[in-house]
A = this chain, B = another copy of it.
Amino acid sequence: MTMTPETVLTNFAGKRVLITGGLGFIGSNLARRLVEHEVTVTLVDSLVPEYGGNLFNIADFKDRVQVNISDVRDEHSMRHLVQGQDYLFNLAGQTSHLDSMQDPYTDLEINCRAQLSILETCRKYNPQIQLVFASTRQLYGKPDYLPVDEKHLLRPVDVNGINKMAGEWYHILYNNVYGIRACALRLTNTYGPRMRIKDARQTFLGVWIRRLLEGRPFEVWDGTQKRDFTYVDDAVDALLMAVVSDDANGKIFNLGGEPVVNLTELATQLIAVNGGGDFEARDFPAERKRIDIGDYFADYRLIQDTLGWRPRVPLSEGLARTLIYFRENLNHYL
C-alpha cells in the first residue's frame, strides 16, 4: 500500500475514533481533519486548566464531534468510551517539566497509571482497537550524537520524561504480548494553531508567540541550542498514518522538522514573519541549566522509510500560519 497524507484518510470513512486529550492542541487539529471525512469522532478531555484542553479549539465544528469531559485517570469513564472504537489516538498527558518536578505523583498518575489502565481496558473490552501514543523526544535527554535516531539511549532528565518513557513502553508491551496493535511517535517541538500559548507548559515557543502578539519582548535563553520543529499538520499526518498501518505495530518513530535552527535564528525568523517585535537574550536560569540538553534534532528516516511520512510544512510557512491564527484568536488563549 502506498500511503500519503491525502489517501490515508480513506481508511477512516465510517469508522469510530477516540482521541484522548481531544480538546488540546494536537487532538483538536486531528479532530478537525477527521470530521471532514465522515468519521465518528469522540473527544475525551479533562479540561484541567494547566493542560492543553480548550473548548475554543473546536468551536467551529463542535456539533460534528462528541465531547466527553473526563479524565484518563477515570477508569470507569474510559472503560465506557473505549468500547466500540476502531482507533484510539492517545494524546492526553501531563507535559510540563516543572509541574512534574513539583508534583511527581500527579505526573505518575496521568503518564503511567492512566496509560496502563487505558491499555488494560483495550485488552479486556476492545482488543481489536488500533492505538497510537504521543510520546516525546524528551526521553532521549542530552544527545550523544546528532541527528538522534531511535537507537539512541533514553536518559530522561525529569520526572515527566521517566513517566512518559514508561507510558510509551506499556503501549509497545501490550502490542507485543497481547496483540493490541499500538505504536508510539516521539514528537519533537510541535507548534501551530491551537497550541497552548498562555505559558511555556507545552513549548517555550508558545509563550514567545503570546508575548510577540501582545507587543512585549520575549526571552531567549542562551540561543545557541539547535532544535527541530514539527508543524501540527505534519504531526497529524504522522498520527493518521501510524494508527492505520500494521507496519507500525510495536514500533517507535521519531518525528522531526526542517530546517533545524538555533533558538536565536528561530526568534529572528519569528519576528521577521511577524513583521516586527523584540526579544531579549538571557543566560539560562540556574535551575534549568542543570537539565539543559544542548542541541537536539531528530533523524526521522525510520518513519519516512516505514510509512512514507515526512514533514511538508517548512518552518517559515508554519510560523506564518501560526501567527495568523493567533492574531485573530488571541483572546481565546490567554
Contacts and interface: CB of A to CB of B under 8 A. Distances in A.
Contacts of A104: 116, 120
A112 interface: yes
Interface stretch (A20-28, A153-161, A294-302): A153-161
Contacts of A176: 157, 290-291
Number of copies: 2
Interface in A259-287: none
B177 A290 contact: yes
Interface in A164-198: 165-166, 169-170, 172-173, 176-177
Contacts of A117: 105
Contact of A173 (B151, B157, B169): B157
A328 to B, nearest CB: 40
A48 to B, nearest CB: 20
A121 to B, nearest CB: 12
A113 B120 contact: no
A101 interface: yes
Given A105-B113, A108-B112, A169 B177 contact: no
Interface residues of A, number: 29
Given A105-B113, A113-B105, A176-B290, A169 B165 contact: yes
B101 A105 contact: no
A170 B162 contact: yes
A165 B156 CA distance: 11
Contact of A159 (B101, B151, B170): B170
A42 interface: no
Q: Chain B CB within 10 Å — which of A151, A166, A170, A177 has the most? A: A166
A135 interface: no
Given A108-B113, A153-B154, 13 more contacts: A105-B113, A105-B116, A105-B117, A112-B166, A151-B153, A154-B154, A156-B169, A156-B173, A158-B173, A162-B169, A165-B165, A166-B166, A176-B290
